[in-house]
Amino acid sequence: MPIRTLALIALFAASPLYAADSDSPLAQDRGKARPLLVYSKTGTDQPLVDEGKALQDPGLKQRDVVVYKVVGLAGERNGKPLDTQATMALIRELNLGAGTQAKLVLVGKDGEKKLESTTPLKLDEVFATIDQMPMAEKEAAAAAPAPAPAPAENGKAKGKPGKAPADLED
């Protein structure tokens, strides 16, 4: 009987950890978008990036970036409010609660932190970081069309042999 009790206690103790993984808004973005998170404990902190300008910038949409803004325990995703549970999961996942400074965090499509700054950044610096990511290089290569083969002088494409001559009989 004590073994069953211990097993149940262990199961219930671990269940909030599993729930925290699935509650995170970053989980829905993994593989689809690059989250850019602007975090501050109070609304009076120096903004690290102008969120209003960032939401309007077409470069973010081209690079599949979603902007998260967290002030205290209130969170937003692309200007739309997040519920408290999702905001807390976001703070836990990125370890944002351990400090008093405002932070800017860029997360790649793979879920890894790619850029973390406590100083104000321009969007150009964020774009440069994104463009250096391996996933961005693969997307750019896939978007570029392959060059067509150049035609030869007689109208046939270069590199392709014409028909072989018929065997001649003696």
Q: Where are the domains of the chain?
A: 32-133
Percent of the chain with pLDDT over 70: 58
The pLDDT value recorded for residue 21 is 47
Q: What is the pTM assigned to this prediction?
A: 0.64
Interatomic CA distance for residues 164 and 170, integer angstroms: 18
Interatomic CA distance for residues 70 and 57, integer angstroms: 20
**pLDDT higher than threshold 50 for residue 3:** yes
Interatomic CA distance for residues 7 and 21, integer angstroms: 22
**Cβ-contact 96, 39 below 8 angstroms:** yes
Interatomic CA distance for residues 66 and 45, integer angstroms: 21
Encoded tokens for 36: 């850019």
Pick 120 or 161 by higher pLDDT.
120
pLDDT tens digit sequence for 98-153? 666 788 889 988 888 888 888 888 888 888 888 888 765 556 555 555 555 555 55
Interatomic CA distance for residues 102 and 43, integer angstroms: 10
Matching residue, tokens 């440069």: 128
The pLDDT value recorded for residue 119 is 82
CATH of domain 32-133: 3.40.30
Instruction: Tell me what the mean pLDDT of segment 154-158 comes to.
Output: 53
pLDDT tens digit sequence for 65-110? 898 888 888 898 988 999 999 989 988 888 876 666 788 889 988 8
The pLDDT value recorded for residue 83 is 92
The pLDDT value recorded for residue 140 is 52
Interatomic CA distance for residues 74 and 82, integer angstroms: 7
Q: Which residues contact 68 (CB under 8 A, 6 or more apart)?
A: 25, 35, 36, 37, 38, 75, 76, 77, 82, 90
Pick 35 or 22 by higher pLDDT.
35
The pLDDT value recorded for residue 93 is 87
